[in-house]
Amino acid sequence: MRVLRAITLASLLILLLPGPARGACTVSSTPINFLGYDVFLASPLDSTGTVTLDCDETPTPDVTVSISQSPNSGGFSPRRMKHAALPDLLDYNLYTESTRVNIWGDGTGGTSTVSRRVPRNAPKALTIYGRVPPLQDAPAGGYLDTLTVTITW
């Protein structure tokens, strides 16, 4: 089993940064942008981003993607972003599907991982579905969180 870790960064924006490759699979991403959260709206703020897997192996590997707990909450549900200058926290989460039912985690505590077969030299994009719940009493500003994305194949 091979594991690749990449550090992620969130600031009302979740950005997955590529890490060093081990073996023949790599990971890259596009950010999840949560800009425009309104504390008075009764509906959640949803957004998406992608994690792209690329493998250069034969036979074609099955790759499992997990996303760590939030260090600001110490868990998966909720994950929390910390205000950049204040001690305030803003709840959010990441999901494996558009219905935003299954929390994307490491397979523990009721969370799910995502597994896909990644054909040789045919990158596979996975959508990350993000949500900030409504009616949180949080001050305006940027919010940060740091997560780890792990791929195993």
Over the stretch 115-148, which tens digit does the pLDDT of each residue have?
A: 999 999 899 999 999 999 999 999 999 998 888 8
Residue 20 belongs to domain spanning:
3-152
| Burial status of residue 74 (CB atoms within 10 A of its CB: 0-12, 13-18, 19 or more) | exposed
Q: Give the span between the Cα atoms of 147 and 134, in whole angstroms.
A: 22
Give the mean pLDDT of 74-82: 96
Q: With contact defined as beta carbons under 8 Å apart, do 130 and 49 qualify?
A: yes
- C-alpha–C-alpha distance, residues 126 and 151, integer Å: 12
pTM equals: 0.84
In the chain, % of residues over pLDDT 90:
71
The CATH number linked to 22 is: 2.60.40.1090
Provide the domain count of the chain.
1
